[in-house]
Copies of this chain bind each other. A is one copy, B any other.
């Protein structure tokens, strides 16, 4: 690929080679999820605009939506003042959350406990089958 990725050197990855990433729907401003990238995930994302993350539990790269079809297309990449957190402004297809909700942040604290603020927009079983 022809991309000059030298700018990635200015990003501060942690001791595990990861950087926290916030995904935000570019037009509505909704915060969809928080996940992690390593350098390879970021470079692959920049190469074709399809967002990849690093799964800390599975220890592998994953393309957001590869199983569910609920992809994220990168619209704009931002970095914070310290260079150690990324903000991805994305266009999210369908549900960002494996629960079927649009955003992973669908629970809010009210009157001493968590409450569900928004219902699923997709059936998680239809998205993932039994193999969630």
Binding site for B on A (CB under 8 A): 3-4, 7, 10, 20, 22, 24, 28-31, 33-34, 46, 76-82, 85, 87, 97-99, 101, 104-109, 112-114, 117
Chain B residues whose C-beta falls within 8 Å of the C-beta of A20 in the assembled complex: 20, 34
Q: How far is the CA of A81 from the CA of B31 in the complex (A)?
A: 13
> Given A20-B20, A22-B22, A87-B105, A33 and B80 touching (CB < 8 A)?
yes
The 5 closest A-B pairs by CB, nearest first: A29-B29, A80-B104, A77-B109, A78-B105, A87-B105
Chain B residues whose C-beta falls within 8 Å of the C-beta of A10 in the assembled complex: 114
Contact B105 A34 (CB under 8 A): no
Contact B80 A105 (CB under 8 A): yes
Contact A79 B114 (CB under 8 A): yes
